Amino acid sequence: MDADSRLSRWIARTEIPLFVASLVFLGSYTVHVLARGLPDGWRAFWLAVIFATWALFVLDYVVRWRLGGHPLRPSYLRHHLLDTVVVALPLLRPLRMVRLYDAVQARLDRPLLSLYSRVIAYAGVSAVLLGFAGALAVYQLERDAPGSTIRTFGDSVWWACSTLSTVGFGDVTPVTAGGRTIASFMMFGGLALLGAVTGAFSSWLIQIFTRDDERPPAR
Amino acid sequence: MDADSRLSRWIARTEIPLFVASLVFLGSYTVHVLARGLPDGWRAFWLAVIFATWALFVLDYVVRWRLGGHPLRPSYLRHHLLDTVVVALPLLRPLRMVRLYDAVQARLDRPLLSLYSRVIAYAGVSAVLLGFAGALAVYQLERDAPGSTIRTFGDSVWWACSTLSTVGFGDVTPVTAGGRTIASFMMFGGLALLGAVTGAFSSWLIQIFTRDDERPPAR
Amino acid sequence: MDADSRLSRWIARTEIPLFVASLVFLGSYTVHVLARGLPDGWRAFWLAVIFATWALFVLDYVVRWRLGGHPLRPSYLRHHLLDTVVVALPLLRPLRMVRLYDAVQARLDRPLLSLYSRVIAYAGVSAVLLGFAGALAVYQLERDAPGSTIRTFGDSVWWACSTLSTVGFGDVTPVTAGGRTIASFMMFGGLALLGAVTGAFSSWLIQIFTRDDERPPAR
Amino acid sequence: MDADSRLSRWIARTEIPLFVASLVFLGSYTVHVLARGLPDGWRAFWLAVIFATWALFVLDYVVRWRLGGHPLRPSYLRHHLLDTVVVALPLLRPLRMVRLYDAVQARLDRPLLSLYSRVIAYAGVSAVLLGFAGALAVYQLERDAPGSTIRTFGDSVWWACSTLSTVGFGDVTPVTAGGRTIASFMMFGGLALLGAVTGAFSSWLIQIFTRDDERPPAR
């Protein structure tokens, strides 16, 4: 219980700073990829910010691993799985905002959003984040590759939209091994996220109409 | 209550005229985009119709905003969100026909259509409207762009069908930034709408078969 | 009641012959499209078979319209809608096998197939039929069109598979207005059918696992 | 009952060896396809392994067919259908790991994984297996075909990912009749599998949020 409460206190205190750090990481990576004409001093500065925030995430991961008293509980492992993924791929770190929402809600008495709105909001924000991070990473890998069709960041965002919606026009596509690997994860991740949005939207629509239909007694 | 009843009267009186105005808007925009060889006088006339109907929508929005006494109720905000979207993008204005259906149904005792038929009808009509408006707007932006593959309105409609069904052949695709922005919204809007159709259709099918199976006692 | 029983007897007696006629129609249309090197006599024979079977369908439609005593009942209208569609597009006539299955089942005490199997079987057979009829019609329209990429019936079947599964590679696509119109209906029809298959498959899978999980008392 | 118990004993004893054999089959087929520069002796060796393991599967199929006392029970037929498919297409043999999981679970008291995790795990592993086997077979058929766009195994895996997620970029596509046939099965098989994943994921998400919402009394 002692370890648990120390872990809880650690998480409660670091939640907000680490969320800010994850936004700083995303922002500095964006600057690093998109601002190619920067003077060398600024490039080094942004690279330093990227590695410093990453170091923060690794530190947080190690501290929580040491403080975590019961690492074999299923719920702990599940949270740990997401944590491990976001330490390895810190661009996806803002996905942990689910915990931030829980932290905010814990101080209120009732949920801020209804059931379906929350599913749609989480999945929608995750899709936007996944698309933006994927477009950045693919753009960095593809822009100078021979035979590439993704020459500008606009191309990359357009490609990410057509990939995440599973439309897949194929007018611009990655050609490097790295770009295709990221693209494959985006295809399946996006499919899962959008399946959640679609399922929640469809359930909500049906629930709304069911409630409307049940109201009149004569049916 | 006074403000509420004045708002209700305003909505009840303007519902039908504004729906007609939204069809006029859609029709005049269609003429504006498709009839390129019109004499200058007619072009000016149709542009005037477009802006006049748009002004009507803005006026209606302002009046309802002034009359709306309790702007913080969730249901009010939700309706307001759709209203704000259709004031900014008046091509989607006919989507407000949902309210028209409610107004018609309020005078009858029971729903005109069954639950699933209504979901499918709303989503189907919305998909047709979204596809038509999107095809028009993309055609206007793409037809003279260098390197464009959307040269005729037929190409644009064909592209809109393959986009909204998430098939995405990619034989014709937008190349301008504006066309791609509209296309991205169509991809995700269409995915949501068709998810609703598919979900409702599938639920209905399963419900039908379940009812059939429950009828015989020996199972 | 008299009209109803006469209609029922008409339907009961013509069900099997008309189903055979619809297969004959599909077969002779297939021969007409695929066997281009036939002597003129045989071409005329198969065309005659096509029109004779179509005339049978129109005759059946008229007779049932005359015998149908209560044309305003919703269930009658719904069946009529499918009937009207298959008179206009007789290639889809075998879709009426739903009625044949009902006729066979009415003589038995219990359903031949479980709930989900039936949904999947109907939707699967409909998808195969829609894909085959669409591939035939698109092949007939596209094979001699300038700039066409659908040169062989194999190309057309390959295109139909990628369209109905909403994958949409776009390596072969229709270019004529007629081919694209048929393709658009296939996209949306296929989406609905496959949505039904997916929904039923997913529900069945979940039901199976739910039953498995409920069996052990210790959970 | 005697036949049943002999069949059960046969299945219980051969389950693990046959699963290992199916992995050996998949591995030796992978070596056969990917290692083109092997000396002739090694080629013959791997071919022999492929045929020997296949012979094992056929032998197992025949033995179970002879031992199976009640071949007309629906559950027997259903299992037999999967068995027949995997004898004809031994690359899909590891799909029978469903039985292995059942065998492992039978020795434990309670399910290893929760309901939705199991659906997602089965479908996910099946998708990976289907994608890998399909990419191998398509690569073997396409790599030397004239006009082919699938020149390396990387191309084939990239194509398989975009096919199974129904994105379908179409930058690389099979051109041979054999490759397109396999591709068509992958499209529909992948659609079913991913529909199951999406449905289970979406149901799980909604269940999680429903439980969360039901907890607080004030709603």
Q: Within 10 Å of residue C216's Cβ, how many Cβ atoms?
A: 11
Query: What tokens were used for B49?
Result: 């119709």
Return the SS3 of D95.
Answer: helix
* pLDDT over 70 (residue D170): yes
In chain D, residues with a C-beta closer than 8 Å to the C-beta of B168 are 167-168
* pLDDT over 60 (residue D165): yes
Give CA–CA dist C211/C218, Å, rounded.
14
Give CA–CA dist D207/D219, Å, rounded.
17
Mean pLDDT (chain B) is 77
Count contacts between A and B (CB, < 8 Å). 75
Q: Taking a C-beta distance cutoff of 8 angstroms, is the pair B123, B194 a contact?
A: yes
Q: For the residues A132-145, what does the mean pLDDT come to? A: 92
Q: Within 10 Å of residue B61's Cβ, how many Cβ atoms?
A: 16
In chain C, residues with a C-beta closer than 8 Å to the C-beta of A167 are 168
Q: Which residue has the tokens 């009839």?
A: B35
* pLDDT over 90 (residue D210): no
Tell me which residue of B195, A31, A183 sits closest to D199, measured CA to CA.
B195
Give pLDDT tens digits for B122-164.
777 888 888 999 999 999 999 989 988 999 999 999 999 999 8
Of D161, D202, D212, the CB nearest to A187: D161
Burial profile D92-129: b = 16 or more Cβ within 10 angstroms, e = fewer: bbbbbbebebeeebeeeeebeeebbebbbebbbbbbeb
Opening angle at CA A14, ends A13 and A20, nearest 5: 130
Q: What was the pLDDT predicted at B218?
A: 38
A51, A163, C83, D134 from A89: Cα distances, Å: 13, 20, 56, 29
Secondary structure (H, E, C), chain A: CHHHHHHHHHHHHHHHHHHHHHHHHHHHHHHHHHCCCCCHHHHHHHHHHHHHHHHHHHHHHHHHHHHCCCCCCHHHHHHHHHHHHHHHCHHHHHHHHHHHHHHHHHHCCCCCCCHHHHHHHHHHHHHHHHHHHHHHHHHHHHCCCCCCCCCCHHHHHHHHHHHHCCCCCCCCCCCCHHHHHHHHHHHHHHHHHHHHHHHHHHHHHHHHHHHHHHCCCCC
Give pLDDT tens digits for A81-90.
666 666 767 7
Give CA–CA dist C34/C46, Å, rounded.
12
Give pLDDT tens digits for B65-117.
777 655 545 555 555 666 667 676 777 777 666 666 666 666 665 555 666 67
The interface predicted TM-score of the complex, written ipTM, equals 0.78
In chain B, residues with a C-beta closer than 8 Å to the C-beta of C118 are 209
Give CA–CA dist B184/B187, Å, rounded.
5
Q: What was the pLDDT predicted at A102?
A: 64
| Packing angle of the helix pair D153-164, A177-214 (nearest 10 deg) | 10
Cβ–Cβ of A165/B199 closer than 8 Å? no
Query: What tokens were used for A203?
Result: 């359930």
Give CA–CA dist B204/C200, Å, rounded.
11
Burial profile A19-33: b = 16 or more Cβ within 10 angstroms, e = fewer: bebbeebbebbbbbb
Give pLDDT tens digits for B25-46.
889 999 988 988 888 889 899 9
CA distance C121 to chain D (A): 14
Residues of chain C with pLDDT under 50: 1, 72, 213-219
CA C80 to chain centre: 16
Give CA–CA dist A103/A82, Å, rounded.
17
Torsion sign over Cα C104, C105, C111, C115 = positive
Query: D178 or B214: whose pLDDT is higher?
Result: D178
Give pLDDT tens digits for A33-54.
898 888 888 989 999 999 999 8
Chains that touch B (3 or more CB pairs under 8 A): A, C, D
Tell me which residue of A83, A102, C107, C105 sits closest to D209, measured CA to CA.
A102
Cβ–Cβ of C206/D119 closer than 8 Å? yes
Which CATH number is associated with domain D113-219? 1.10.287.70
Structure letter (DSSP) for residue C38: -
- Reported as a pLDDT band with limits 50, 70 and 90, residue D74 is low
Percent of chain A predicted with pLDDT > 90: 21
Q: Taking a C-beta distance cutoff of 8 angstroms, is the pair B6, B67 a contact?
A: yes
Q: What was the pLDDT predicted at D105?
A: 64
Q: What was the pLDDT predicted at A219?
A: 33
- Reported as a pLDDT band with limits 50, 70 and 90, residue A129 is confident
Q: Which residues contact B151 (CB under 8 A, 6 or more apart)?
A: B143
Q: Taking a C-beta distance cutoff of 8 angstroms, is the pair D119, C205 a contact?
A: yes
Q: What was the pLDDT predicted at C183?
A: 93
Query: What tokens were used for A156?
Result: 């990359």
CA distance B165 to chain C (A): 6
Q: Which residues contact B214 (CB under 8 A, 6 or more apart)?
A: none
Give CA–CA dist D203/D208, Å, rounded.
9
Q: Which of B94-98, D27-31, D78-82 is predicted most confidently?
A: D27-31
A180, A193, B95, D194 from D210: Cα distances, Å: 37, 18, 30, 24
Chains that touch C (3 or more CB pairs under 8 A): A, B, D
Give CA–CA dist B8/B14, Å, rounded.
10
Structure letter (DSSP) for residue B35: -
Structure letter (DSSP) for residue C36: T
- Reported as a pLDDT band with limits 50, 70 and 90, residue D213 is very low
Tell me which residue of A195, A95, A93, A91 sits closest to A138, measured CA to CA.
A91
Give CA–CA dist A130/A117, Å, rounded.
19
Q: Taking a C-beta distance cutoff of 8 angstroms, is the pair C129, C164 a contact?
A: no
* pLDDT over 90 (residue A157): yes
Give pLDDT tens digits for C66-116.
776 555 455 555 556 666 676 777 777 776 666 666 666 666 655 556 666
* pLDDT over 50 (residue B217): no
CA distance D179 to chain C (A): 11
Query: D72 or A28: whose pLDDT is higher?
Result: A28
Q: Which residue has the tokens 């809608």?
A: C81
Return the SS3 of C215.
Answer: coil
Tell me which residue of B121, B123, B187 sits closest to B160, measured CA to CA.
B187
Give CA–CA dist B59/A114, Å, rounded.
32
Cβ–Cβ of B216/C191 closer than 8 Å? no
* pLDDT over 90 (residue A1): no
Query: D11 or B68: whose pLDDT is higher?
Result: D11
Q: Taking a C-beta distance cutoff of 8 angstroms, is the pair C197, C122 a contact?
A: no
Tell me which residue of B24, B19, B29 sits closest to B60, measured CA to CA.
B19
CA distance A168 to chain D (A): 5
